[in-house]
């Protein structure tokens, strides 16, 4: 048994409480008891204690949209003039980077992304992967990286017609093969999969139909970029005579197990469709700012009953930062400082947890008996009163990923004093420096 104690325990969940000197007792991957450190230690004398003095003990954060394959983009100078539109960003950077990746690059990139996530307090990550010249086995490499780091991961390959029909078919096959492999013993709870799709503008009706059919047979949903830049909508209107969301609805892509990332350029009818199908929307405020695509109507979507959660889209690995940006971007966009507080809290701390519970099949997002032991210890000793009612304000303004001291996932200490256990980070980074140089060289020739 492991006890994480001596901290400010923030339970979150349905009955949120803050307990000073609180502790959590963990056994077999589950939280078995929550109470005061004194009482739990007296009761379980042989249990190991992980100290959280001067820190907050809280559920691990969840990221519902990320791209591990983008790791080697850091510091890369994009050849040619700077991209002026979102489509140019895709063509000049991401669609070149993904073509340059080998299976080893994929493993190392994914491992770096997962390490970065855990170091910033994220214990479950929904990844969306592309590597058109190394499709078969790519999700196994990512799964191996997730296992090595010890993070919960939902993986998918990004099916697209942009590299030809053959690659699209290979992408579907990779998703199907990987999702089937999840039935193997020992994989339940830590890994999940779904049908990855790029975006409406690079997908034909035939490919979408095949992907949806295969996903249906496997009982999974899709994970797709939706109306991220204005180009997606323009393309759908011109080629199909309808909005992106309507097209995806008509082809059966939407639904309670599907994640629609972004949804920046959506209208009232699209929002109604997302709500009525219970589709999950991943809001990625910082990425949208970086790509200058606009501000997603995320608050309106929440108010209209859409299940909106938070992702990073690979822009950052820090969900604290993602939440803080979400809190302010809608104020700026509406010039109203009163908006977004509750919606942002709901996205990060409630909806992300419900989504992860549905995908991984374990209870998440709260420190309560019977929940999976996914928790983080954050160096944060508040100098103003902290209670369940004002915790969101402390999180937004006082806490960031760099303060995360320990991370426990599935009951295992994955990071202790900011060191990932069982993984040589320096060696991983050294290998990445060698590989990324070669990727940059290949990319420059594309």
User: Which residues of this chain interact with Zn ion, rule CB under 5 A?
Assistant: 313
Smallest separation, CB 54 to Zn ion (Å): 37
- Give the whole-angstrom CA distance, residue 11 versus residue 134: 42
Smallest separation, CB 71 to Zn ion (Å): 14
- Contact of 23 with 6, CB cutoff 8 Å: yes
CA triple 159-163-166, angle to 5 deg: 75
DSSP letters for 73-131:
GTTPPPSSSPP-SHHHHIIIIIHHHGGG--HHHHHHHHHHHHHHHHHTTEEEEEE-B--
Smallest separation, CB 70 to Zn ion (Å): 9
- Which CB, 116 or 313, lies closer to Zn ion? 313
| Residue nearest to Zn ion as judged by C-beta position | 313
- Contact of 26 with 4, CB cutoff 8 Å: yes
- Which CB, 283 or 400, lies closer to Zn ion? 283
- Contact of 263 with 274, CB cutoff 8 Å: yes
Smallest separation, CB 158 to Zn ion (Å): 9
Smallest separation, CB 50 to Zn ion (Å): 34
- Which CB, 270 or 313, lies closer to Zn ion? 313
| Collapsed DSSP state (helix, strand, coil) of residue 411 | coil
- Which CB, 142 or 313, lies closer to Zn ion? 313
Smallest separation, CB 313 to Zn ion (Å): 4
- Contact of 157 with 145, CB cutoff 8 Å: no
- Which CB, 313 or 379, lies closer to Zn ion? 313
Smallest separation, CB 65 to Zn ion (Å): 6
- Which CB, 94 or 440, lies closer to Zn ion? 94
Smallest separation, CB 130 to Zn ion (Å): 10
Smallest separation, CB 226 to Zn ion (Å): 10
- Give the whole-angstrom CA distance, residue 206 versus residue 197: 13
| Collapsed DSSP state (helix, strand, coil) of residue 25 | strand
β-partners of residue 59 are 375
- Which CB, 24 or 130, lies closer to Zn ion? 130
- Which CB, 315 or 392, lies closer to Zn ion? 315
Smallest separation, CB 262 to Zn ion (Å): 7
Beta strands at 280-283 and 419-420: parallel, antiparallel or unpaired: unpaired
| Collapsed DSSP state (helix, strand, coil) of residue 21 | strand
CA triple 401-403-404, angle to 5 deg: 75
- Which CB, 24 or 274, lies closer to Zn ion? 274
β-partners of residue 56 are 8, 378
Helices (H) and strands (E) in the chain, counts: 17, 18
β-partners of residue 376 are 58, 407
The two tokens of residue 214 are 């295969």
- Which CB, 313 or 318, lies closer to Zn ion? 313
- Contact of 329 with 285, CB cutoff 8 Å: yes
């Amino acid at each position: 048994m492991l006890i994480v104690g001596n901290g400010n325990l923030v339970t979150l969940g349905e009955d949120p409480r803050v307990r000073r000197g609180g502790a959590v007792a963990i056994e077999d991957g589950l939280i078995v008891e929550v109470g005061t450190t004194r009482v739990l230690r007296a009761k379980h004398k042989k249990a190991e204690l992980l100290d959280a003095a001067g820190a907050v003990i809280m559920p691990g954060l969840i990221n519902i949209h990320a791209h591990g394959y983008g790791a080697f983009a850091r510091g890369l100078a994009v050849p040619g003039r700077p991209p002026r539109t979102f489509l140019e960003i895709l063509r000049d950077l991401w669609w070149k980077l993904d073509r340059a990746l080998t299976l080893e690059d994929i493993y190392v990139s994914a491992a770096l992304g997962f390490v970065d996530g855990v170091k910033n307090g994220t214990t479950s990550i929904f990844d969306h992967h592309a590597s058109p010249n190394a499709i078969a086995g790519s999700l196994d490499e990512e799964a191996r990286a997730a296992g090595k780091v010890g993070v919960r991961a939902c993986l998918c390959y990004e099916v697209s017609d942009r590299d030809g029909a053959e690659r699209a078919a290979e992408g579907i096959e990779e998703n199907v093969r990987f999702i089937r492999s999840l039935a193997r013993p020992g994989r339940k709870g830590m890994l999940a999969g779904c049908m990855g799709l790029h975006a409406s503008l690079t997908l034909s009706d035939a490919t979408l139909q095949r992907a949806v059919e295969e996903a249906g047979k496997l009982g999974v949903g899709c994970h797709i970029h939706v109306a991220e830049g204005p180009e997606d909508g323009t393309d759908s209107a011109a080629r199909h005579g309808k909005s992106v969301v309507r097209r995806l609805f008509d082809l059966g892509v939407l639904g309670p197990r599907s994640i629609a990332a972004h949804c920046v350029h959506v209208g009232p009818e699209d929002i109604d469709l997302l709500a009525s199908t219970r589709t999950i929307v991943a809001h990625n405020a910082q990425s949208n700012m970086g790509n200058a695509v606009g501000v997603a109507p995320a608050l309106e979507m929440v108010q209209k009953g859409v299940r909106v959660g938070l992702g990073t889209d690979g822009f950052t690995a820090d969900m604290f930062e993602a939440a803080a940006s979400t809190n302010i971007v809608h104020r700026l966009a509406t010039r109203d400082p009163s908006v977004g507080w509750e919606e942002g809290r709901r996205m990060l701390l409630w909806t992300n947890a419900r989504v992860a519970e549905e995908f991984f099949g374990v209870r998440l997002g709260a420190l309560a008996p019977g929940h999976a032991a996914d928790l983080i210890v954050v160096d944060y000793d508040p100098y103003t009163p902290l209670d369940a009612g004002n915790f969101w304000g402390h999180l937004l303004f006082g806490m960031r990923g760099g303060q995360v001291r320990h991370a426990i996932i599935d009951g295992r200490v994955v990071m202790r004093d900011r060191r990932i256990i069982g993984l040589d980070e320096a060696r991983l980074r050294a290998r990445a420096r060698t590989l990324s140089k070669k990727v940059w060289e290949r990319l420059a020739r594309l």
